[in-house]
Amino acid sequence: MTKVLLFAALVACIAVPFRVFVKGEQTKHRYKTTLALNGVMFFGLMLFTGVMMFSGNAFAAETAETAAVAASSTATGLGYIAAALSIGMSCIGGGIAVASAASAALGAISEDSSILGKSLIFVGLAEGVCLYGLIIAFMIIGKL
């Protein structure tokens, strides 16, 4: 039942703002309404998902074995979150670095084409940040 409710909420979050966007004439008010509705639906869905995720029944651990299994599953889950964060944050940082380095490199190459090799090195170094995040994620997952 929970999965059906969550699926219905996801569909509503996509369908309702799209309906507001398509309906009516193109005015600045319609775009503001669509943006506001998207924000309300997104954060409402996040709140709903959080409530559904954390509203499970809590039972006391019956034995030491079940407590160890619960701790192990928590550690595994946090390990996966750490791996995802290391990839995500490094890719965001790499994207920001590549955006500024590549635009500066294109400007420099347009003035003097002899510095192509030097500019590619700087762009490649910025992309290397993403690879370091991926390596760290593999190391974290390897320890799980």
Give the model confidence (pLDDT) of 15-52 as tens digits.
766 666 666 556 667 777 777 777 787 788 778 777 77
Q: Positive or negative CA dihedral for 111, 113, 116, 118? A: negative
Whether the model clears a pTM of 0.95, i.e. scores above it, the answer is no
Give the model's pLDDT for residue 10.
72
State the helix-helix crossing angle for 116-143 and 64-111, rounded to 10 degrees.
180
Q: Would you state the pLDDT for residue 61?
A: 45
Topology (CATH level 3) of domain 75-144:
F1FO ATP Synthase (1.20.20)
Instruction: Provide the pLDDT for residue 133.
Output: 92
**Extents of the domains making up the chain:** 1-55, 75-144
From first to last of the 144 residues of the chain, give the pLDDT tens digit. Answer: 666 777 777 777 667 666 666 665 566 677 777 777 777 877 887 787 777 777 665 554 456 666 666 667 778 888 899 999 999 999 999 999 998 888 888 888 889 888 888 888 888 888 888 899 999 999 999 988
Three-state SS for the chain is CHHHHHHHHHHHHHHHHHHHHHCCCCCHHHHHHHHHHHHHHHHHHHHHHHHHHHCCCCCCCCCHHHHHHHHHHHHHHHHHHHHHHHHHHHHHHHHHHHHHHHHHHHHHHHHCHHHHHHHHHHHHHHHHHHHHHHHHHHHHHHHC
Amino acid at 59: F
Sign, CA torsion 25/28/32/33: negative
